[in-house]
């Protein structure tokens, strides 16, 4: 964990000194720290944005290098969850620290007063808890916990730095066992296991009911346990059980008998090769455990009628309401889980938090839930759900009873762009404080900022003379609706705004062009319409590139194919640090035809590098890696905190507006002609001989080489952007006519995976 935290500081450009126990064997006394750092670098998912960032972390050991912390501005301890070990290390650190250094422990549940309660006053003033969630790079939450006498100014600085520089969603917590997220999360995990045992559900049934279907990560329940480690999960639960003797639900924190047997057998999850799941045979088929017999068997795909119907409902709140009202095993299971979660979360106020807001944030940011417990309660209907619970003879917490008596029908409400939350302690609605530097499009929509909208996209006034084009189609694919709204946005910006931003708040920036529509046109042989659609997409991207006012794209997450091409044509990109960007068209049997080939050639003279990036469908593992791949330029900017992305993009767009000159289409893009063609064809042939690609990949590779060489011209020449666009479109259409490309498209739409035909 310490190595992963150090890696994330390095991602933010902050040098770190990583200390661990001295190695008892060999000449390298820093070997233990180096192993941790190596695991952070090579692990999957990786902890570093790029391999080069590892140079910012220096390794040492507690015996030889502890005095070096005197030069450190932040001393962050992340040793084993053992009170005696932590206190002993802090005594040593207190003797050599800088007097003004921030001192923080990464404990996941040990009370800070137990760690530092009898330390000197000067130490306690600088001491606080910083609970990073693992892996720190990917989980947004940082729980910030004041110590017995933490300086409020220091706490404010740590919160601000963690937000702005480290990109964290900071939740301030009370010094209670397991703080917020792990208190609720441990209860939820224990409840899922309890209901599984009591009502006879299988591991596969619970997995099917607790993943993305209900707004949880795809790791669901038992896959998450395997990732975390069953020993870690049990340790956290046992510690919490001992720490909260008054908690009426504490029995749920203890591992049940079958889990104790798994622990005895060292079936701890991924770290030991088996836990609730294991891979079997040469095909590495995944088998799941039968918790009754502890025997493994092939995974079964449970079928619930209500689930099959609910999958077609896009709106998560409507889907959840449908599921919990179903009179089948799925509905019964989810109702028990949700109702127990609601009651427990309400009972935890004000013990772990005075407000519902922090509990919801902690579960969204720390556990990756789409909705926190109280947001989920609202989605199901606060008052109706409470009455259903009461009708079953279960007691409601007094604060819920009081809210119902006051006529409360929802826990959150909206007034214009302001969000209100129900304060259980005060028994009134209060206004959620604004967060400077953060823009939420949903708030703007509620406040009437939408200028124009269709099924696929909207125009939203961001304020300060900046217009936003927001995608909201399924997977934010770019179809006719999005293209028409982008053109409308350019016209509106030219007349009434200073700049335009392309952004959204979906799960991904854009999965690319609407592949289903492309395949349909191919199957129907509608080549004229397909050629026209391709031409319109090219024209739209060129219009973005040479717009009268600056256009900034704000990509995040998956930014693939056409979404990548759109970003390449923006004047600037304000990218989220977590950016998985790439021109991946070869995976569905085509080449980039919205100007992606053209833009990569225009940016880079190394045609071999461009050919490999597109031909191998390389996708960046971060925004910094996208720079390395040539998908972002040095002038593009990166936002560490995803919540700040749209506001940052707006600020960047405004900075470009004064004196903006759009330029004109280029006619001076160098291409290598026959020589470049031969070089790329040799690379294709070599890859085929090595069995890295298929025969049809060779066909696609040669089409790509034809475009990137400028149409196999004689010798190096300068060509125009339009010339390259025409080559892209021609190659795209010819590949679309091949049945093997259509097979790849159909397979991708059906399975979400590329076909190697």
CATH of the domain at 210: 1.10.1040.50
Helical segments of 453-570, H only: 480-496, 515-524, 527-545, 562-569
- Measured distance CA(547)–CA(437) in Å, rounded: 26
Instruction: Assign 752 to helix, strand or coil.
Output: coil
Q: Give pLDDT, residue 450.
A: 97
Per-residue pLDDT reduced to its tens digit, 317-338: 999 999 999 999 999 999 999 9
The answer to whether residue 421 sits within a structural domain is no
Per-residue pLDDT reduced to its tens digit, 15-61: 999 999 999 888 899 999 999 999 999 988 899 999 999 999 999 99
Q: Give pLDDT, residue 283.
A: 85
pLDDT tops 90 at residue 456: yes
- Measured distance CA(522)–CA(736) in Å, rounded: 6
Of 634, 656, 678, which residue constitutes the final position of a domain?
656
- Measured distance CA(737)–CA(752) in Å, rounded: 22
Enter the DSSP assignment of 591.
Answer: -
| Tokens of residue 566, six digits | 């759109």
**CATH code at 540?**
3.90.226.10
| Tokens of residue 389, six digits | 């619970």
Q: Please check whether residues 69 and 112 belong to one and the same domain.
A: yes
pLDDT tops 90 at residue 688: yes
pLDDT tops 90 at residue 351: yes
The answer to whether residue 430 sits within a structural domain is no
Residues near 52 by beta carbon (within 8 Å), at least 6 away in sequence: none
By the 10 Å C-beta count (0-12 exposed, 13-18 middle, 19+ buried), 386 is classed as buried
Instruction: Assign 423 to helix, strand or coil.
Output: strand
Sheet with 277-280, strands from edge to edge, namely 277-280, 285-290, 295-298
Q: What angle do CA 230, 235, 238 make, to 5 degrees?
A: 125
Q: Please check whether residues 122 and 225 belong to one and the same domain.
A: no
Per-residue pLDDT reduced to its tens digit, 717-744: 999 999 999 999 999 999 999 999 999 9
Q: Give pLDDT, residue 109.
A: 79
Mean pLDDT confidence for 627-646? 97
Enter the DSSP assignment of 574.
Answer: E
Q: Please check whether residues 322 and 200 belong to one and the same domain.
A: yes
Q: Please check whether residues 599 and 644 belong to one and the same domain.
A: no
Of 118, 143, 172, which residue constitutes the final position of a domain?
172
pLDDT tops 90 at residue 570: yes
Per-residue pLDDT reduced to its tens digit, 81-120: 899 999 999 999 999 999 999 999 998 878 999 999 899 9
Q: Give pLDDT, residue 745.
A: 96
Q: Give pLDDT, residue 117.
A: 85
Q: Please check whether residues 163 and 270 belong to one and the same domain.
A: no
Q: Give pLDDT, residue 513.
A: 92
**CATH code at 117?**
3.40.50.720
Q: Give pLDDT, residue 45.
A: 81
| Tokens of residue 280, six digits | 């079997």
Q: CA–CA distance from 329 to each of 126, 307, 323 (Å)? A: 52, 10, 10
pTM exceeds 0.85: yes
Q: Please check whether residues 149 and 201 belong to one and the same domain.
A: no
- Measured distance CA(448)–CA(461) in Å, rounded: 9
Q: Give pLDDT, residue 43.
A: 84
Mean pLDDT confidence for 376-402? 96
Which among 492, 487, 491 has a CA at the least distance from the CA of 449? 492
Mean pLDDT confidence for 199-223? 95
Distance between first and last Cα of the chain: 42
Q: Please check whether residues 515 and 395 belong to one and the same domain.
A: no
By the 10 Å C-beta count (0-12 exposed, 13-18 middle, 19+ buried), 282 is classed as exposed
Q: Give pLDDT, residue 712.
A: 85
The answer to whether residue 427 sits within a structural domain is no
Q: Give pLDDT, residue 110.
A: 87
* Token pair 């926190």 in the structure block, residue: 372
Q: Please check whether residues 185 and 144 belong to one and the same domain.
A: no
How many residues in total does the chain contain?
757
Mean pLDDT confidence for 650-657? 98
pLDDT tops 90 at residue 627: yes
Confidence of residue 14 (pLDDT cuts 50, 70, 90): very high
The answer to whether residue 227 sits within a structural domain is yes
Mean pLDDT confidence for 441-469? 96
pLDDT tops 90 at residue 609: yes
Mean pLDDT confidence for 569-574? 98
By the 10 Å C-beta count (0-12 exposed, 13-18 middle, 19+ buried), 57 is classed as buried
Q: Give pLDDT, residue 44.
A: 81
Q: How distant is the alpha carbon of residue 557 from its chain centre?
A: 6
Q: Give pLDDT, residue 314.
A: 85
On average, the pLDDT of the chain sits at 95
Cross-strand pairs, 639: 576
Mean pLDDT confidence for 119-135? 95
Q: Please check whether residues 519 and 447 belong to one and the same domain.
A: yes
Q: Give pLDDT, residue 134.
A: 86
Are 640 and 165 in contact by the 8 Å Cβ rule? The answer is yes
Which residue range is the domain that position 483 belongs to? 441-584+619-656
- Percent of the chain whose predicted confidence (pLDDT) is above 90: 93
Per-residue pLDDT reduced to its tens digit, 662-684: 999 999 999 999 999 999 999 99
Q: Please check whether residues 240 and 318 belong to one and the same domain.
A: yes
Which among 453, 485, 486, 456 has a CA at the least distance from the CA of 473? 456
Per-residue pLDDT reduced to its tens digit, 216-272: 999 999 999 999 899 999 999 999 999 999 999 999 999 999 999 999 999 999 999
Query: Which is higher by pLDDT, 712 or 78?
Result: 78
Q: Please check whether residues 125 and 166 belong to one and the same domain.
A: yes
- Residue 576: half-sphere exposure toward Cβ, Cα within 13 Å: 27
Q: CA–CA distance from 583 to each of 394, 565, 613, 731, 749 (Å)? A: 55, 7, 8, 15, 17
pLDDT tops 90 at residue 171: yes
Q: Please check whether residues 609 and 494 belong to one and the same domain.
A: no
The answer to whether residue 422 sits within a structural domain is no
Question: What is the tally of structural domains in the chain?
Answer: 4
Mean pLDDT confidence for 154-163? 97
Q: How distant is the alpha carbon of residue 293 from its chain centre?
A: 37
Cα-Cα-Cα-Cα torsion 223, 224, 227, 232, nearest 10 degrees, comes to: -130
235: phi then psi, degrees, rounded to nearest 5: -65, -45
User: What DSSP letter does each residue of 278-323 carry, written as one string?
Assistant: EEETTTTEEEEEETTTTEEEEPP----HHHHHHTT--SHHHHHHHH
| Tokens of residue 258, six digits | 């079958």
- Residue 326: half-sphere exposure toward Cβ, Cα within 13 Å: 22
- Measured distance CA(490)–CA(495) in Å, rounded: 9
- Residue 70: half-sphere exposure toward Cβ, Cα within 13 Å: 5
Are 139 and 167 in contact by the 8 Å Cβ rule? The answer is no
């Amino acid at each position: 964990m310490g190595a992963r935290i150090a890696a994330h500081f390095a991602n933010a450009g902050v040098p770190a000194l990583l200390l661990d126990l001295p190695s008892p064997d060999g000449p390298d006394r820093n070997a233990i720290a180096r192993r941790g750092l190596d695991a952070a670098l090579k692990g999957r998912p990786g902890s570093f944005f790029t391999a080069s960032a590892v140079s910012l972390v220096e390794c040492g050991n507690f015996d030889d290098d502890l005095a070096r912390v005197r030069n450190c501005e932040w001393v962050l301890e992340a040793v084993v969850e053992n009170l005696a070990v932590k206190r002993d290390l802090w005594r040593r650190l207190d003797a050599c620290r800088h007097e003004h250094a921030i001192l923080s422990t990464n404990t996941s549940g040990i009370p800070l007063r137990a760690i530092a309660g009898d330390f000197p006053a000067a130490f306690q003033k600088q001491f606080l808890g910083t609970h990073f969630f693992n892996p720190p790079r990917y989980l947004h939450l940082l729980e910030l916990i004041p110590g017995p006498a933490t300086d409020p100014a220091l706490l404010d600085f740590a919160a601000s730095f963690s937000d702005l520089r480290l990109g964290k969603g900071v939740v301030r917590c009370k010094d209670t066992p397991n703080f917020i997220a792990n208190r609720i999360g441990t209860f939820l995990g224990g409840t899922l296991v309890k209901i599984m045992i009591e009502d006879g559900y299988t591991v596969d049934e619970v997995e099917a009911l607790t993943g993305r279907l209900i707004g949880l990560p795809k790791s669901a329940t038992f896959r998450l346990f395997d990732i975390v480690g069953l020993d870690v999960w049990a340790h956290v639960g046992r510690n919490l059980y001992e720490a909260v003797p008054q908690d009426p639900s504490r029995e749920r924190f203890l591992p049940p008998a079958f889990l104790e047997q798994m622990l005895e057998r060292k079936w701890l999850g991924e770290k030991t090769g088996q836990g609730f799941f294991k891979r079997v045979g040469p095909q590495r088929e995944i088998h799941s455990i039968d918790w009754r017999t502890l025997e493994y068997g092939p995974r079964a795909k449970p079928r619930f009628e209500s689930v099959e119907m609910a999958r077609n409902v896009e709106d998560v709140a409507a889907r959840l309401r449908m599921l919990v009202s179903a009179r089948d095993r799925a509905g019964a299971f989810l109702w028990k889980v949700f109702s127990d979660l609601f009651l427990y979360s309400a009972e935890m106020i004000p013990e772990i938090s005075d407000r519902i807001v922090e509990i919801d944030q902690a579960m969204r940011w720390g556990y990756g839930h789409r909705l926190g417990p109280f947001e989920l309660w609202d989605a199901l209907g606060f008052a109706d759900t409470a009455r259903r619970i009461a009708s079953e003879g279960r007691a409601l917490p007094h604060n819920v009873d009081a809210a119902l008596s006051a006529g409360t029908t929802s826990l959150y409400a909206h007034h214009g762009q302001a969000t209100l939350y129900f304060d259980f302690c005060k028994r009134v609605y209060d206004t959620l404080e604004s967060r400077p530097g953060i823009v939420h499009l949903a708030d703007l929509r509620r406040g009437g900022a939408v200028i124009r909208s269709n099924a696929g996209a909207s125009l939203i006034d961001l304020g300060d003379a900046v217009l936003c084009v927001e995608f909201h189609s399924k997977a934010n694919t770019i179809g006719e609706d999005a293209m028409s709204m982008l053109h409308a946005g350019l016209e509106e910006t030219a007349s009434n705004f200073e700049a335009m931003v392309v952004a959204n708040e979906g799960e991904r920036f854009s999965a690319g062009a609407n592949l289903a529509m492309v395949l349909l046109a191919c199957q129907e042989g509608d080549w004229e319409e397909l050629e026209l659609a391709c031409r319109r997409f090219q024209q739209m991207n060129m219009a973005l590139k040479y717009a009268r006012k600056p256009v900034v794209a704000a990509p995040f997450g998956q930014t693939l194919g056409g979404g990548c091409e759109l970003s390449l044509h923006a004047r600037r990109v304000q990218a989220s640090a977590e950016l998985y960007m790439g021109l991946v068209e070869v995976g569905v049997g085509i080449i980039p035809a919205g100007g992606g080939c053209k833009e990569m050639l225009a940016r880079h003279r190394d045609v071999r590098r461009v050919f490999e990036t597109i031909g191998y469908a390389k996708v960046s593992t971060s925004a910094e890696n996208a720079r390395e791949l040539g998908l972002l330029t040095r002038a593009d900017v990166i936002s560490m905190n995803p919540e700040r992305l749209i506001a940052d993009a707006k600020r960047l767009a405004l900075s470009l507006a004064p004196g903006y000159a759009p330029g004109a289409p280029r006619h001076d893009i160098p291409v290598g002609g026959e020589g470049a063609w031969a070089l790329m064809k040799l690379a294709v042939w070599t890859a085929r001989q090595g069995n890295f690609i298929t025969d049809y990949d060779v066909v696609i590779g040669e089409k790509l080489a034809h475009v990137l060489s400028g149409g196999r011209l004689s010798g190096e020449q300068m060509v125009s952007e339009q010339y390259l666009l025409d080559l892209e479109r021609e190659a795209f259409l010819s590949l679309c006519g091949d049945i093997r490309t259509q097979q790849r498209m159909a397979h991708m739409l059906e399975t979400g995976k590329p076909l190697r035909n």
